[in-house]
Amino acid sequence: MTIYCRYLTGKNPDEQSLALFERAIEHEETILVDDEVRLVQFMISNTWSIGFVDSALGLFNPNHRLRKRMIIAFAILETSPLYFDFFKPKTFPRTHLLTLIAKGMQEALQGLAGSLILLFF
Amino acid sequence: MEIFDYIVIGSGCTGAMAAQTLVEKGVQVLMVDGGMTDTNYDGLIPDKDYLSIKQQEARQYEYFIGKNFEGIPFGKVKTGEHLTPPRKFMLRKVQDWMPLLSDTFSPLESLSLGGLGNGWGLGCCMFSDAELKMAGLNTTKMNAAYETVGKRIGISGDKDDTGKYTSGGLSQLMPSIQMDSTGANLYQNYQRKKSGLNKEGFFMGRPSLALLTEDKNNRKAYQYKDLDFYCDQDKSAYRPAFTVEELKQKNNFSYQGGLMVLKFEEGTDSIKIECRSLANNEPVFFECRKLVIAASCLSTARIVLRSYNAYNTRLPIISNPYSYLPSLQPYLLGRDSDRHKIGFAQLSLFYDPGFNNEYVAMSSIYSYRSLMAFHILKETPMSTKTGFEFLQYMMPAFTIAGLFHPEMGGSTKYLELKKDPGQVTGDALGVNYHLTEAENQKVAHNEHKFTQALRKLNCFVLKKMNPGHGSGIHYAGTLPFSDKNEKFKLHSNGKLGESNNIFVADGSGFTYLPAKGLTFSLMANAHIVALSALED
């Protein structure tokens, strides 16, 4: 949760969000098994990898338990006023579409690279 | 044991309406009901709008994702998963007490006070005379009953291009709610292109909703708080529980919640009702002179089949095929101009290829925001971070078209009650529901036509979603109306065939389901059945 919150919002998670996350992941659908625990440990040690893994799971394995944990973390942060500025509705310039197209292409490459990381776990 | 004049089973839209009619005529009425209420979230949501809550409230997670995270679907999404945590009480104890075995039909049932009316989308469409006839309903009585029910619940809408499909003909109609940018932009496009669309049989207009835009008694006009999926603070949206609460103030009405009605036994002078306590499974009995069953067509079928010990007897069922079309209006991409989005339908789009208001397909148009981004995010094939950036850009342009198709019965659509000692009721309802090839083709054709029509309105369908039969929560026809006095059929006045004093006030009798939302017609019929029970 800590590295995910920093990765997503650029902020450290607050205590309430951390406590909620701990409680939420007790659900059987999100309990990690051996290789998945090792993957999380790898991501904690190598925080640069979280974006790659996030992309790869979204692209190739959306039902992965780690992806579910990320969605839970996202939901908890989305319902905290501390991160309102990050989640609030925004207006974008018309040219933002071009930025998003570029990001989409980058995302595909990142997902492919991330899938290489997943091969080790 | 006290013998009541009337017992009404169920407190949903039909039970509440039938009970109100009976109580107003001065007879003694007992309502027997599941009676589940919201004990987790009632009163928890502050009196603020959605964005203010998001910005200010530390404990918002409690009602937005649930105290036990029940608002986050972990596994396969089933019917009812879309309900927000404060609405989940509608489903309490349903799995235990209303077991349903089916691979092809996923309905929503409720044991709550107010029944499925707690989550009703508020659409109020009058069936045309042709549709009423096909459904087995009396046109003169129904048109009068629509007026009565409309005055009771309060309806807002317009007399526009779709007035003849909705409730534009009612004498008392409050002004429509304002639209947010999603609805306004689409409607503007329709105004520009309507002549071409009209020629193809497409008509767009403001929906008639059981939503107040002017104060009515102790209910307030709609406040645009964008919390429509979470609470009914201002009571602007009609919920049958409001009617039941009002009836509780009357001397000739009493209410017994926490009960599951298992069966009835009709004697010479009275009818005995056997119930079970939902809390401890203890038997509870009541007696009345006339019984009005309004338990919703599936539960009514259970009660009737059980009462006649008619296990493995097939009854018909009809359910509107439902699909939804997540779409985008490119003009709105990246523009967040709305302080408040609206959760209820803002527009209705009707497809009437015969221009005769008979076999009409209907789409309700919604915007999307207050249901949280994470619900869509988990379906996005990219990282949560980039996915959310895309969503923020796309969210103002998101438009959801919920599409209903008209439906007739058939041999591939039936239910039967089966003995099952493992269930607390000792039985379970099996449902088999398949469309014929021709029906599937008709549905696909309609979906294609709607996709084309939306494209002409500069609204582009991203995907077609078919959540499965029953998920539209529009079903009926388990005890169809008949001219003959037959068991498992209803007389046109709602009386159960081969009975003397048992009436069915829900949609069990309907022999045809127009695509238009049926709740308003169910309530009008319930009013008529209650009047018939008084006269009979």
Within this chain, do residues B245 and B302 fall inside the same structural domain, yes or no? yes
**A81: closest CA among B154, B55, B108?**
B55
In a domain, B515, yes or no: yes
Within this chain, do residues B47 and B67 fall inside the same structural domain, yes or no? yes
In a domain, B383, yes or no: no
CB B449 within 8 A of CB B323: no
Structure tokens at B56: 């200010």
Closest-CA residue of B relative to A77 is B61
Position A94 scores a pLDDT of 82
Position B168 scores a pLDDT of 75
Q: In the block, which residue shows the tokens 């629509």?
A: B146
In a domain, B12, yes or no: yes
Cα B304 versus chain centre, distance: 22
Instruction: Please give, rounded to a whole number of angstroms, the shortest distance from the CA of A105 to a CA of chain B.
Output: 11
CB B16 within 8 A of CB B244: yes
**B125: closest CA among B463, B519, B501, B523?**
B519
- Quote the CA–CA distance of B238 and B232 in Å, as a whole number: 9
Within this chain, do residues B114 and B70 fall inside the same structural domain, yes or no? no
Position A120 scores a pLDDT of 85
Supply the DSSP string of chain A, one letter for each residue.
-HHHHHHHHSSPPPHHHHHHHHHHTTSGGG---HHHHHHHHHHHH-GGGHHHHHHHHHHH-TT-HHHHHHHHHHHHHHT-GGGHHHHS-----TTHHHHHHHHHHHHHHHHHHHHHHHHT-
| CB atoms B51 and A88 under 8 Å | yes
Position A34 scores a pLDDT of 84
Interface of A with B in 9-48 (CB under 8 A): 16, 20, 23-24, 27, 29-30
Within this chain, do residues B24 and B60 fall inside the same structural domain, yes or no? no
Instruction: Please give, rounded to a whole number of angstroms, the shortest distance from the CA of A119 to a CA of chain B.
Output: 18
DSSP H or E stretch at residue B273: strand B271-277
B-interface mutation test, from A79, A95, A99, A106, most B Cβ less than 10 A away: A79
State which residues form the domain around B298: 1-36+93-120+239-312+420-429+472-536
Position B472 scores a pLDDT of 81
Of B58, B69, B380, the CB nearest to A16: B58
Average pLDDT in chain A: 91
| CB atoms A104 and B382 under 8 Å | yes
Cα B129 versus chain centre, distance: 22
Within this chain, do residues B69 and B24 fall inside the same structural domain, yes or no? no
CB contacts, 8 Å: B373 with chain A: 74, 78, 87
DSSP H stretches of helix in B426-511:
437-456
Instruction: Please give, rounded to a whole number of angstroms, the shortest distance from the CA of B457 to a CA of chain A.
Output: 21
DSSP H or E stretch at residue B452: helix B437-456
Within this chain, do residues B77 and B12 fall inside the same structural domain, yes or no? no
Strands B475-476 and B318-319: antiparallel
- Quote the CA–CA distance of B123 and B111 in Å, as a whole number: 22
In a domain, B403, yes or no: no
- Quote the CA–CA distance of B365 and B349 in Å, as a whole number: 8
Average pLDDT score over residue span A18-39 = 87
Structure tokens at A59: 């692209």
Of A51, A74, A89, the CB nearest to B377: A74
Sheet holding B413-419, edge to edge: B100-101, B427-433, B413-419, B315-316
User: Which residues share a beta bridge with B361?
Assistant: B351
Position B233 scores a pLDDT of 87
B22-78 per-position pLDDT tens digit: 999 999 999 999 999 998 998 899 999 999 999 999 999 999 999 999 888 776 666
Interface predicted TM-score (ipTM): 0.95
In a domain, B327, yes or no: no
A31-83 per-position pLDDT tens digit: 888 888 999 999 999 999 999 999 999 999 998 999 999 999 999 999 999 99
User: Which residues share a beta bridge with B513?
Assistant: B407
| CB atoms B336 and A89 under 8 Å | yes
Of A62, A68, A103, the CB nearest to B381: A62
pLDDT, mean of each 10-residue run, chain B (536 residues): 94 98 97 95 92 94 92 72 88 93 93 95 94 96 97 95 88 93 96 96 96 95 92 94 97 97 95 96 96 97 97 96 94 84 93 93 89 86 94 92 93 95 95 94 95 97 90 92 94 96 97 94 98 92
Of B65, B334, B383, the CB nearest to A55: B383
Q: In the block, which residue shows the tokens 């919201």?
A: B38
Position A32 scores a pLDDT of 83
Position B271 scores a pLDDT of 97
Closest-CA residue of A relative to B374 is A75
Strands B315-316 and B413-419: antiparallel
Within this chain, do residues B13 and B82 fall inside the same structural domain, yes or no? no
Q: What are residue B505's phi and psi, to 5 degrees? A: -110, 5
What's the total number of domains in chain B?
Answer: 2
Within this chain, do residues B11 and B87 fall inside the same structural domain, yes or no? no
In a domain, B109, yes or no: yes
Within this chain, do residues B2 and B82 fall inside the same structural domain, yes or no? no
Would you tell me how many other CB atoms lie within 10 Å of the CB of residue B306?
19
In a domain, B445, yes or no: no
Closest-CA residue of B relative to A31 is B74
- Quote the CA–CA distance of B523 and B148 in Å, as a whole number: 10
User: Which residues share a beta bridge with B211?
Assistant: B237
Supply the DSSP string of B213-227, one letter for each residue.
SS-BTTBPPP---S-
Within this chain, do residues B513 and B536 fall inside the same structural domain, yes or no? yes
We report the CATH number of the domain holding residue B27 as 3.50.50.60
- Quote the CA–CA distance of A72 and B378 in Å, as a whole number: 10
In a domain, B501, yes or no: yes
- Quote the CA–CA distance of B376 and A75 in Å, as a whole number: 11
Q: What are residue B87's phi and psi, to 5 degrees? A: -100, -5
Instruction: Please give, rounded to a whole number of angstroms, the shortest distance from the CA of A107 to a CA of chain B.
Output: 7
Within this chain, do residues B98 and B12 fall inside the same structural domain, yes or no? yes
